[in-house]
Amino acid sequence: MIRFDNDYTEGAHPFILEELVKTNTVQLPGYGEDEYCRLAAEHIKRHCANEDVDVHFMVGGTQANTTIISAILRPHQAVLAADSGHIAVHETGAIESTGHKVLELQNTEGKINADQIASYVQNHWDDPTHEHIPQPKLVYLSQPTELGTLYTKAELQAIRDVCLAKNLYLMVDGARLGYGMAAKTNDVTLHDLTTLTDIFYIGGTKVGAMFGEAIVISHDYIKEDFRYIMKQRGGMLAKGRFLGLQFKVLFEDNLYFDVSNHAIRMAELLLAAFKDKGIALKYDSPTNQIFPILEDDKIKELHDHYSFYVWEEAGDGRKAVRICTSWSTKEEDINSFIAAL
């Protein structure tokens, strides 16, 4: 069965596997203090065009989110997120398990905006009982969002301005960041993220690595003692070189961007086919996540040979499904799926 339901179901890019095998018996310091982690951090800083950031490596996105949020918030503080945001709906209460509440804002195609954030925070402080209510202190965004949509640079700048005015921190979950940056409509660079956010991470798990996320920190307060919090949260991998090595391979040249561009090209083939066949899309996603609306009978038929995710009801015997292309998607598989439509 051909899988289109996630973008990390395959293992790792062959270049990464080759390097892991070649260096398997090399003896190096542990806990991310090895040469590979150092080189990977240097490559990421170069691609960010910013030498003042700190770079750390963790295994997965939920681990990165819980560690980042724990590092930033005091016990009485909370994080603002879209009600469709990953930390709000897909992490089994992982953030709440750290003692911090997720404050949900209504999303518009996966996004929240500066006015919503400003209004929520102002209403908090205007409430005479605000000391009895979790204090909003951090804004969480995903780029791309869970619906495959993107924040523009202007939208990020507006949110950043509100965060500065309201004394909030801003983080970006970049688990699928490569696919967002490869989208034709994207105008946000890695350098922009280092100046418009306090902290973000570059996902490797979904973009060719076997596992791993690279956390990039701009804010000096968050940089301080971050490795202590990584350790406390179980995020400091003893054999950290396996993380550093993978990101070294992804970023020493342009592999991260090359594989992301490939996924977008595959997604564009599918999008063109859906439009050609008059199949409506639930969301206008320019990234690798596509949400066509299909008849129930067609979904059952396709599920015999393809795995994808049924997203939500669309009425009249139809459902919106999510189809993800990835770094490893083959064009022949795309063509066979199009033929099956």
Q: Which CATH class is domain 14-253?
A: alpha beta
In this predicted model, what pLDDT tens digit does every residue of 209-261 receive, in sequence order? 999 999 999 999 999 999 999 999 999 999 999 999 999 999 999 999 999 99
Q: Name the amino acid, one letter, at 279.
A: I
Stretch 274-286: mean pLDDT? 95
pLDDT at 3 over 90: no
Q: What pLDDT, on a 0 to 100 scale, did the predictor assign at position 6?
A: 81
pLDDT of 8 above 90: no
Segment 265-287 mean pLDDT: 96
Residue 40: pLDDT band with limits 50, 70, 90? very high
pLDDT at 12: 94
Quick one: pLDDT at residue 1? Answer: 72
CA–CA gap between residue 55 and residue 34 (Å, rounded): 13
Cβ within 8 Å of residue 131, ≥6 positions away: none
Confidence of residue 311 (pLDDT cuts 50, 70, 90): very high
Angle at 60 between CA 113 and CA 147, to 5 degrees: 35
DSSP label of 134: P
Question: Does residue 9 carry a pLDDT above 80?
Answer: no
Q: Which pLDDT score, from 0 to 100, does residue 110 have?
A: 97
Average pLDDT over residues 67-87: 97
What does the pLDDT read at residue 184? 97
pLDDT tens digits, residue range 140-189?
A: 999 999 999 999 999 999 999 999 999 999 999 999 999 999 999 999 99
Contact 246, 12 (CB under 8 A): yes
Range(s) of the chain covered by CATH 3.90.1150.10:
2-6+256-340
Burial letters 69-88, b for 16+ CB under 10 A, else e: bbbbbeeebbbbbbebbbbb
User: What pLDDT is attached to residue 299?
Assistant: 95
90-115 pLDDT, tens digit each: 999 999 999 999 999 999 999 999 99
Q: What percent of the chain has pLDDT over 90?
A: 94
Average pLDDT across the chain, whole number: 96
Strands 289-290 and 213-217: unpaired
Residue 74's pLDDT is what?
97
**Residue 194: pLDDT above 80?**
yes
pLDDT band at 7; cut points 50, 70, 90: confident
Please report which confidence band the pLDDT of residue 197 belongs to, taking 50, 70 and 90 as the band edges: very high
Q: Is the peptide bond before 128 cis (omega within 30 degrees of 0)?
A: no
Three-class secondary structure of residue 263 per DSSP = helix
Inter-CA distances, 86 with 6, 112, 235, 261, 295, Å: 15, 13, 19, 24, 27
- Which CATH architecture fits 2-6+256-340? Alpha-Beta Complex (3.90)
Distance of CA 86 to the CA centre of its chain: 9
**Cβ pair 86, 65 in contact under 8 A:** yes
Residues 312-340, mean pLDDT to the nearest whole number? 94
pLDDT band at 272 (very low <50, low <70, confident <90, very high): very high
